[in-house]
Structure formats: C-alpha cells, structure tokens
Chain A
Amino acid sequence: MIACDNQLTARIIPCLDVDNGRVVKGTNFINLRDMGDPVELATEYEKQGADEIIFLDITASSDNRPTALSNVTRIAQKLSIPFTVGGGLKSIDDVKAFLDAGADKVALNTTAVQNPNIINQVAEQYGSQCVVVAVDVNRPEQSVAPRIYIHGGRTLVQRPFYSWINEIQERGAGEILLTCMHRDGTGLGFDCELTGEIARNAKIQVIASGGAKNEEHFYDAFAAGADACLAAGMFHSGEYRIDQVKQYLKAKQINVRL
C-alpha cells in the first residue's frame, strides 16, 4: 500500500556552468575556474544519483552568444535523467532549437525579464513542465528588499522581486530556480529564509540555489520548504558525492531517491 499522500522526493540538481564547452564555476559570478568536461561530469553525476542536471552557459547570457547546441546533443546521448539548458535563449525559435537538440527543459532568465510573454509562449506550445524561470536575486543585507539582476548577475533590474515571482507563476512557468547571488560561491549555505518563504507560498516548485558547501545546507533548505536544491562547486571539486548528501538527508527523514 502507498501510505503517504505524497511520494515525491526532494531533488538534488548539480549545475554545470559551461564556457567554451568546458565546465566552470565562479565565485560570485567572477573568477571562472575550469572544472572539466560537461559530458563526463554529467554522466558521473547520474551515477552518483543526481536527480536532474542544469546546464547553463553563463557567458552566453552576458555576451548575447547562444549556447552550443552540439554540447546539448552530446549530453542527451549519454544521460538518462532529465536536464535543463539555459543561457542566451532569446526567442521561441531558440527554445525550440534546444528542445529539439534533446533538452527536457529550458531555463529563462534575462529573456524572461525583458520579454515576459515568452514564458506564456513556451508554456502554451510545450507545456509548463518545459519552462524553468531562473531568478538571480541579491539581498546583501536582511534589511533591504531583494533585488533582481540579469545578464549573469551584472545588470540590476527595476522590478519588484515579489511581484515578479507571482508573475512568473501566473504566466505558466513550471518551476522557479531561485539563485541568491549574495550566497553564491560563499559556502555559507542557501538563503533559507528567502527561499523557504517563496517555496512555501508558490504554486509551483522552487529550486534553491547559491551557497551550498556541505550536506547540512541541503537539509536546512529542504526543511525550510525548498522542493529541490542546486549546487556546483562542492560536487565539481569531488569534496562531496551526491549519494553521500542523500544518505545524510535520508537519515534526517528527508525523502530522497537513493
């Protein structure tokens, strides 16, 4: 018998930031360091128990350069878990090209802010499950209102954070990827207060991102209400394995896939 009324597990999602076909991970979006081949890393993460993979071409968003479709196809050939691509997607045609190349979902950030209607378009044509809206938010101090940035964290947007979070959902996004820039690369853990507040109130799933350095940070985010957690550096460096983090979570009564 299925006893519990929700069998869905908490997801762990490694993120591959890619530049020129190689995985890189910056500290606060600066000082990129080469971390290896994306296909190699993605298949290793599948073996470790990654629930999905997000594949972001951070420089594409900054420099208006589309992410290489060939990398997406190479990953699709090897992976049998879902993966999301983002970075430099400007139009429905771009989205179509990436989905046709084998991606399961697209992550829209700068383009969604500049042309919010694209969220509706993708949701209508491909379904909500295909569209993840990525929000880069910065709140250096608890006392200030969260601010939204685009272009890989370089451009401040004059748009109220909470109304944008609502608008994303109204327009038909399937998930929100909330990256807290003030935590990204710091190793201080996710901003559980902000992420939990959004996740508990949203009618779609919310992925916590930015700041994870150890297994306890994942527990804190899930306990606060996050539906999924994203991390890069702590996995890329080999310091932690995904299954190791999941074992820790399971021992603390978080439902995960092992």
Chain B
Amino acid sequence: MSSVVSIVNTQAGNLYSLKASIERLGCAVEIADTPDQVRGERLVVPGQGHFGSVMQNLESNNWLPALQQWREDNKPLLGICVGMQIFFSGSDESPAASGLGWLKGRVERLAFPKQPMVGWAYCEFSHQDFRSGMPYFVNSYAVRESEQCIAKTAYGEAFCAAVKDNNLVGFQFHPEKSSQYGQALIQRALQL
C-alpha cells in the first residue's frame, strides 16, 4: 500500500521538485494549503522563502495549532531548510518573527565570505538511521548547535545539517535536490 505524504504549502516557491522526488519513492503526494486538507500521515514543511514570511503564512492559514498537535501526536514530520529552521526559536534572517520554538537554539548567518552557500557538502551523520554523504545546500543561515543535532557540516564554521527528535526530522540541505542520496534520506526521515 502506498503512503500518502502531505506537503504544507507555504506559498513561497514551486513545490514541483519536492513533490516529484517523494513520488519517485512510490508515495501519493498532496499539497495542502490549509490543515484541513491534510489526509496523509506524513507531513513535510518545504524549504523555500524567508523565515518571517513562512511563519506569517503558516499563521494566517491556521497551521500553527495543527503543527503543534502533529508534534504532540508524534507523527512523522520533515522540515527542509527554512522548514527546519522554524523548529527553532528565531532567526537572524527575520529578527522580529518568532519560530515554533520546539528546539532550543537560534538560526544565525554563516560566517563564510561567499553567501549564499550553494552546492554539495559532506555531512557526517551520528544517527544509525542515516548514512553520511553529500547533499545539496542552498542557504546563508543555519543553526550552529542543537541538542537534537544528528549531522554536522561546515561552511566557514561547523553547523547543524540535520536534527531529529522522535519523529520530527529537519534537514538544512535540500534532499529533493540531492540525487539518489537525497531520496534515501527522505525515505528514512518519513519512515517510508
């Protein structure tokens, strides 16, 4: 039986690549504009847009209580890039906006002279479910340290490439753009 995966539509860019990439894993994918459209047991918060505008969009479409409930129910939830960053309390990208505050830490601008970070970087995973490898990154901001960090990489300084807390998983990179390796990471994160 194929699983249904719902993608939260944060209205911040095309979801085409992400949808196609999950479909390649044999799942049915639905884009949900609002929480009442979610039919799947697995949820993905995509990785496009600014921290502040993503939070604003989630709030105006009633996603905040729904995401909170999803987390309390401990259902599989994957956040990608800014979709992972919102798990934390806030970001230097949008100082006025609050994040979900689920994980301790703050999103900060990376120190490397060339911004944004664009390209493939080695990530060393410390969690048995995931193997180390090179996914594709596009970001200028990241979380340096987190108690839930399960993978590290570096761009000017070391930062957290992935987090995991029960069934909550966050990737700072874009697994949907990371070829076969990324496909395997999505599969593990969503327990497909």
Which residues on A are within 8 Å of B, measured CB to CB? 1-2, 4-9, 11, 46, 51, 73, 76-77, 80-82, 99-102, 104, 126-129, 174-175, 202-205, 227-228, 257
A175 to B155, CA, bound (A): 17
Contact B112 A126 (CB under 8 A): no
Contact A203 B115 (CB under 8 A): yes
Interface string of B117-157 (1 = CB under 8 A from A): 11111111000000000101111100000000000111111
Contact A80 B177 (CB under 8 A): yes
A219 to B179, CA, bound (A): 24
CB distance from B186 to the nearest CB of A (A): 10
Contact A129 B116 (CB under 8 A): yes
CB distance from B48 to the nearest CB of A (A): 8
30 residue pairs A–B, Cβ–Cβ below 8 Å: A5-B154, A5-B158, A7-B121, A7-B154, A7-B155, A9-B134, A11-B119, A51-B120, A51-B136, A77-B20, A80-B176, A80-B179, A81-B179, A82-B174, A82-B177, A100-B14, A100-B16, A101-B16, A102-B16, A102-B20, A104-B177, A127-B49, A128-B116, A129-B138, A129-B139, A174-B116, A202-B114, A204-B116, A205-B114, A257-B120
Residues of A within 8 A of B152 (CB): 2
A11 to B119, CA, bound (A): 7
B34 within 8 Å of A by Cβ?
A: no
CB under 8 Å from chain A, chain B span 21-73: 21, 24, 48-50
B178 within 8 Å of A by Cβ?
A: yes
Contact A46 B179 (CB under 8 A): yes
CB distance from A214 to the nearest CB of B (A): 23
The 5 A-B residue pairs whose C-beta atoms are closest, nearest first, are A7-B121, A102-B16, A257-B120, A129-B138, A257-B134
Contact A80 B21 (CB under 8 A): yes
Contact B120 A203 (CB under 8 A): no
Give the residue of A5, A73, A81, A227 whose beta carbon is less than 8 angstroms from that of B157: A5
Contact A204 B114 (CB under 8 A): yes
Contact A8 B120 (CB under 8 A): yes
A120 to B180, CA, bound (A): 34
Task: State whether A80 and B24 are in contact (beta carbons under 8 Å apart), knowing that A1-B124, A5-B157 are contacts in the complex.
Answer: yes
B182 within 8 Å of A by Cβ?
A: yes
Contact A9 B121 (CB under 8 A): yes
Contact B178 A7 (CB under 8 A): no
CB distance from B22 to the nearest CB of A (A): 11
A227 to B49, CA, bound (A): 25
Contact A7 B153 (CB under 8 A): yes
A104 to B137, CA, bound (A): 12
Q: A7-B122, A76-B16, A82-B138 are in contact. List 12 more A-B contacts (CB 8 A).
A: A5-B158, A6-B155, A7-B153, A8-B121, A9-B119, A9-B122, A76-B20, A80-B17, A80-B177, A127-B48, A127-B50, A257-B120
Closest B residue to A130 using CB positions: B13
Residues of A within 8 A of B95 (CB): none
Contact B179 A204 (CB under 8 A): no
Contact A5 B156 (CB under 8 A): yes
Residues of A within 8 A of B183 (CB): 80
Give the residue of A80, A99, A102 whose beta carbon is less than 8 angstroms from that of B182: A80
CB distance from B137 to the nearest CB of A (A): 8
Residues of B within 8 A of A175 (CB): 118
A104 to B176, CA, bound (A): 11
Residues of B within 8 A of A73 (CB): 16
Closest A residue to B121 using CB positions: A7
Residues of B within 8 A of A100 (CB): 14, 16
A2 to B177, CA, bound (A): 23
Residues of B within 8 A of A101 (CB): 14, 16
Residues of A within 8 A of B180 (CB): 80
Contact B136 A82 (CB under 8 A): yes
Residues of B within 8 A of A51 (CB): 119-120, 136
A228 to B140, CA, bound (A): 18
Contact B154 A99 (CB under 8 A): no
CB distance from B180 to the nearest CB of A (A): 7
Contact B113 A203 (CB under 8 A): yes
A236 to B139, CA, bound (A): 31
CB distance from B118 to the nearest CB of A (A): 6
